[in-house]
Structure 1
Amino acid sequence: MQGILIVLILPIIIFIVSIVGFLLLKKWYVTPIIIFIIFTVLAITIYKGTLFSYVIFYTALSIAVSLIMKLNVYNK
């Protein structure tokens, strides 16, 4: 069950949160920073740091989505 959560559900949640965060805050870098902090704390406390590579992946996904949103919103 944790594998499905980590591989399928969390990236979808990160995608949605990044879009909503960008639209609400109008800053592309705020949501990835928040996601990095939250998932770092979760990785250290719950998973004892073993899933830190996923923290980097989720942060990179959030940065990519935020930058794509920035390019789409400001180029119109």
Structure 2
Amino acid sequence: MGTVSESFIRLSLEREKDLWVEPLEICKIIKEFPKELLNSIKWISPVNIDMLNKDITVLHNDIFLGQINSLCRK
């Protein structure tokens, strides 16, 4: 059995193996995405852009705070 710091390092390394993306980088991409570009997409069905922007903000916050996807609860 190792020290607490050794356990923390081992846990951190195991966690990194599970991550195939960098959460903070994804947050940055989501935050910096030009929202006005959503209007230029040819949607198959009508989309409420304001609602979509709110959901994107929720998604960003969930990733940034390390929370579960709260959009799936809606």
Q: Please indicate the TM-score interval, normalised by the length of the shorter structure.
A: 0.3 to 0.5
Structure possessing the higher relative contact order (Cα contacts under 8 Å, 6 or more residues apart): 1
TM-score (norm 1): 0.36
Larger Rg: 2
